[in-house]
Amino acid sequence: MTPSTGDRLLSVVRDGVRIHDLGRRLFVGMPQSPNHPAYWHTLPRRHGDRVRADGGSAANDMVVMGTHVGTHIDALAHVSQDGLLHGGADAAAAGAGGVYPEHGVHTIAPMVRRGVLLDIPAVLGETCPPGHEITPADLEAAQKRQGTPVGAGDVVLIRSGWGRHFENPDHRVYRGEESGVPGVGEAGARWLAERRAHAAGADTIAFERLAPGAGHSRLPAHRVLLVESGIYIIETLALDELAAAGVHEFTFVLAPLPLFGATGSPVRPLAVVSDTLVPDTVVSCRGGAGIGGTDG
């Protein structure tokens, strides 16, 4: 019934794509930074609370959260240095009124662009140790090993392996305040900026390397990327399954919620690749949440 399409993109999609879901499920009690309001979900109305005369009933939700919870993106409004935001705007004045009209997350255009996964454990031969700084040499080695050099406008996802701690019921492990957390430092951030990445992500809460016991006292990669370079940061990504599938280059899709004036947004990014073995079938790699239909 459905005709062939004249659109090249849709034609390729209909030949079959595989979707890798890079977003963590949001649930009450998940690990997150204590600097941000905790994610909470509740049902004000459940089925049966109010049944209409025709037998219909609706359930609904209330959600409370910071925006830097779950898998999320940092807008340029999130970080300032010496009182200035990216581009030199006065950070205090930019937020007068309780919103950032010029630098908020609603200003981030939806992304459909090349994404590159840099799989650092594949280079190191082990998951990055706590507090390990991922160096430019590590990044170079990863892109060389994979044959996927980073280019201007790309979204670069850096896998440290730390994501394996996300489901640890002791949230201090994933947050890693005491142990330290692996990630890029100032040098790695500069490497990304020099390549003119569009956005950069990681499988940790803070994106960047945290020294053991140091907490968030210094965040040089945020400064280099957000403030100096205007490069967005994506945190708490689920990257292990993408790495296990051996997918290092893909179409990266991300549409932040356009929360007017906010400093960030929870997101559900996708890595999409052609897969003619599963024609017109959407398949994701993240368990129950991501199994698509086969309605072709």
The residue (of 55 and 125) whose beta carbon lies closer to a copy of itself is: 55
Question: What's the closest the beta carbon of residue 75 comes to a copy of itself, in angstroms?
Answer: 9
Strand, helix or coil at 9? helix
Q: Which is nearer to a copy of itself, 56 or 125 (CB)?
A: 56
CA-to-CA distance for 26 and 31, rounded, in angstroms?
10
Closest contact distance (angstroms) between CB of 164 and a copy of itself is 19
Q: Is 274 in the site for a copy of itself (CB under 8 A)?
A: yes
Burial (Cβ within 10 Å: 0-12, 13-18, ≥19) of residue 88:
exposed
Which is closer to a copy of itself, CB of 127 or CB of 208? Answer: 208
Radius of gyration (Cα) for the chain, nearest Å? 20
> Which of 119, 194, 133 has the alpha carbon at shortest distance from 163?
119
- Does residue 24 interact with a copy of itself by CB under 8 A? yes
User: What is the distance, to the nearest Å, from the Cα of residue 32 to the centroid of all Cα atoms in its chain?
Assistant: 14
Q: Are 294 and 281 in contact (CB under 8 A)?
A: yes
* Residue choice 196, 214, 244, 246 for contact with a copy of itself (CB under 8 A): 196
Q: What is the DSSP string of 93-117?
A: HHTTTSS-TTTSGGGSPPEEEEEEE
- Alpha carbon distance 62, 74 (integer Å): 23
- Binding to a copy of itself in span 102-131, by CB under 8 A: 106-107, 109-114
CA distance 247 to 138: 18
> Mask 239-268, x = binds a copy of itself (CB under 8 A)?
----------xxx-x-xxxxxxxxxx-xxx
Our CB check for a copy of itself shows the closer of 32 and 127 to be 32
- Of the pair 128, 156, the CB lying nearest a copy of itself is at 156
Strand pairing of 111-119 and 249-254? antiparallel
Binding positions for a copy of itself, 155-194, rule CB under 8 A: none
* Single residue of 54, 125, 170, 277 touching a copy of itself by CB under 8 A: 54
Does position 132 interact with a copy of itself (CB under 8 A)? The reply is: no
Binders in 64-103 for a copy of itself, by CB under 8 A: 64-68, 70, 77-83, 85, 91-92, 94-100
Residue 40 CB, shortest distance to a copy of itself, in Å, is 5
Determine, following the binding rule CB under 8 A, whether residue 4 of this chain makes contact with a copy of itself. no
Distance between CA atoms of residues 67 and 234, nearest Å: 12
Q: Given the rule CB under 8 A, which of 49-57, 158-166, 182-190, 205-213 is the region that contacts a copy of itself?
A: 49-57
Give one word for 183, left, alpha or beta, with left for phi > 0 and alpha for psi -120 to 50: left
Q: How many CB atoms lie within 10 A of CB 98?
A: 6
- Of the pair 109, 125, the CB lying nearest a copy of itself is at 109
